[in-house]
Chains A and B, each alone.
Chain A
Amino acid sequence: MSLLRPVAALGRATLGALASIGRIALFAGAVIGHLFRPPFYPREVLHALMQIGWFSLPVVGMTALFTGGALALQIYSGGARFSAEAVVPSIVAIGMVRELGPVLGGLMVAARVASSIAAEIGTMKVTEQIDALVTLSTNPLKYLAVPRVLAATLAVPVLVAVGDAIGIAGGWLVGVYRLDFNSTTYLKNTVDFLEFWDVGSGLVKGAAFGFIVALMGCYHGMNSGRGAQGVGRATKTAVVSASVLIFAANYLLTEIFFTS
């Protein structure tokens, strides 16, 4: 009997995980369904755009700046092994816009936004504010989740675009002032090797990551347990699940965009 215990535990964990996936899928479906049905809450969307987009700019910008600079140094030192230092501008640009811009931007927004959404909505649940919304004839999913998910889906691609530009600028700063590249040549190589779809794919990834981040924040907030511990657990789970899903979605989207 005791030999079967690990198998039973594995089975329970698997069923639990599948049930969670099902609940999240239903939640995502409900959010998407409500996106197109009135009433709409433009004020809440605008507020969420400011919170998610505008106030995330500094952290995304700083991350991109240092990543672009470090990337330039890494490619330069790595490229020197086979005399390919000249590829620094193009690899920095492609690396930033295709991968690092969207993934790091998504992760920074996950850390900053998924946690705050989960904590805010979780606290609202614990303090009966969500029940109060219902008694005031307001659908909590529509009022709390839909504006945040919409705002994140719109804002993160913009953050990614700004992060891309700042990351490339970081590479340029290091390239020109540290590695003695000619400024004009660096910029020309950056622009010449960059294609529209390199940038476009990163922005699509940004939109997907924004959707994931806000969805996880809202889902875990609305399913938060009781008390400070419940809200804390919801916040942690929102950040962890958003981060893991960003990596999984990144692989999936890269597979779709670049391997055909």
Chain B
Amino acid sequence: MIELVGVHKSFGSNEVLRGIDLRVESGTSMVIIGGSGTGKSVLLKCVLGLVHPDRGRILLDNEDVETAERDAFLARFGMLFQGGALFDSMPVWENVAFRLLRGATKRPKDEARAIAIDKLRRVGLGPQVADQFPAELSGGMQKRVSLARAIAADPEIIFFDEPTTGLDPIMSGVINDLIREIVTEMGATAMTITHDMTSVRAIADNVAMLHRGKIRWCGPVSEMDATLDPYVQQFIHGRAEGPIEALR
């Protein structure tokens, strides 16, 4: 279980997170929605320790992430970055097997390659992709490789940062289905940030809406359409008119 209690984070005078309280139960898929610049990515990075909150606590299974043993903590996570964040100096299979080739989870090279090819197959990519470099792949294929890397070490918790951004609707659907399948199959806890409402409906068990650095609404995805919260209604229907100010 991931729990955030009163998390604050500012960058200079820009107060990005203004007291986030959120609870993500084990084995569930939480999707965080919200407009651009509302602090969704910062929130994920705070949980991972890539950004340190100014105030508040982040607990993973009741243990404060700030005091947890770093390698053991990170070994429980997988992350799909918005742009893929693949290492362009190494072939696809080494990207996927990166964690398996180093550190505490190090495996023999042949075994790591076999696992990488198996994970690539899991995301719908053939073994011929393994020896290509990321720059040789399309955006959709790079996203899949990044997804394969995120699941390579069978993590307990997977974060997805804007998994469908920049993809066409069909590829977005493929990625959404893959995420749902993998999360269900692995029994992993998932936390996704997106503004793609199709993704939300495909991936989420629960949804939290972030607005002005606070959780505006949180509940099961099945209740999202019925909520009377005007912010949520404006966001999920993509209306220009409403309480959320749109810069024009």
Annotate A16-46 by CB proximity to B: 1 below 8 A, 0 otherwise: 0000000000000000000000010000000
CA distance A39 to B83 in the complex (A): 28
A126 to chain B, nearest CB (A): 9
Number of interface residues of B (CB under 8 A): 24
- CB-contact partner of A137 in B45, B75, B88, under 8 A: B75
Annotate A138-162 by CB proximity to B: 1 below 8 A, 0 otherwise: 1000000000000000000000000
- Contacting B at CB under 8 A, from A114-153, are 124, 127-129, 131-132, 134-138
A136 and B99: CB pair below 8 A?
yes
Q: With a CB–CB cut-off of 8 A, which chain B residues contact A128?
A: 81-83, 85
CA distance A127 to B88 in the complex (A): 11
Number of interface residues of A (CB under 8 A): 12
In this assembly, does B74 line the interface, its C-beta being within 8 Å of a C-beta of chain A? yes
- B104: nearest chain-A partner, CB-CB: A137
Q: With a CB–CB cut-off of 8 A, which chain A residues contact B86?
A: 129, 132
A136 and B50: CB pair below 8 A?
no
Given A135-B48, A137-B75, verify A39-B103 contact (CB < 8 Å).
Answer: yes
CA distance A137 to B78 in the complex (A): 10
A134 and B71: CB pair below 8 A?
no
Q: With a CB–CB cut-off of 8 A, which chain A residues contact B83?
A: 127-128
In this assembly, does B235 line the interface, its C-beta being within 8 Å of a C-beta of chain A? no
In this assembly, does B98 line the interface, its C-beta being within 8 Å of a C-beta of chain A? yes
- CB-contact partner of B85 in A39, A127, A138, under 8 A: A127
CA distance A137 to B70 in the complex (A): 8
CA distance A199 to B78 in the complex (A): 52
B74 and A135: CB pair below 8 A?
yes
Given A129-B87, A131-B50, A132-B87, verify A137-B81 contact (CB < 8 Å).
Answer: no
A132 and B79: CB pair below 8 A?
yes
A132 and B102: CB pair below 8 A?
no
A40 to chain B, nearest CB (A): 11
B85 and A129: CB pair below 8 A?
yes
Q: With a CB–CB cut-off of 8 A, which chain B residues contact A127?
A: 83, 85
A257 to chain B, nearest CB (A): 39
In this assembly, does B93 line the interface, its C-beta being within 8 Å of a C-beta of chain A? no
In this assembly, does B77 line the interface, its C-beta being within 8 Å of a C-beta of chain A? yes
CA distance A136 to B87 in the complex (A): 12
- CB-contact partner of A134 in B50, B78, B82, B104, under 8 A: B50
CA distance A136 to B104 in the complex (A): 11
Given A136-B98, A136-B99, A138-B102, verify A131-B71 contact (CB < 8 Å).
Answer: no
CA distance A138 to B74 in the complex (A): 10
A43 to chain B, nearest CB (A): 10
20 A-B residue pairs with CB within 8 Å: A39-B103, A128-B81, A129-B85, A129-B87, A131-B45, A131-B50, A132-B79, A132-B81, A135-B48, A135-B79, A136-B98, A136-B149, A137-B71, A137-B74, A137-B75, A137-B99, A137-B102, A137-B104, A138-B98, A138-B102
Chain A residues in contact with chain B, CB under 8 A? Answer: 39, 124, 127-129, 131-132, 134-138
Minimum-distance CB pairs A-B, first 9 = A132-B85, A128-B85, A135-B79, A137-B74, A128-B81, A136-B99, A129-B85, A137-B71, A136-B98
Having A136-B99, A137-B74, A137-B103, one finds 7 other A-B pairs with CB under 8 Å, namely A39-B102, A124-B87, A128-B82, A131-B81, A135-B74, A137-B70, A138-B103
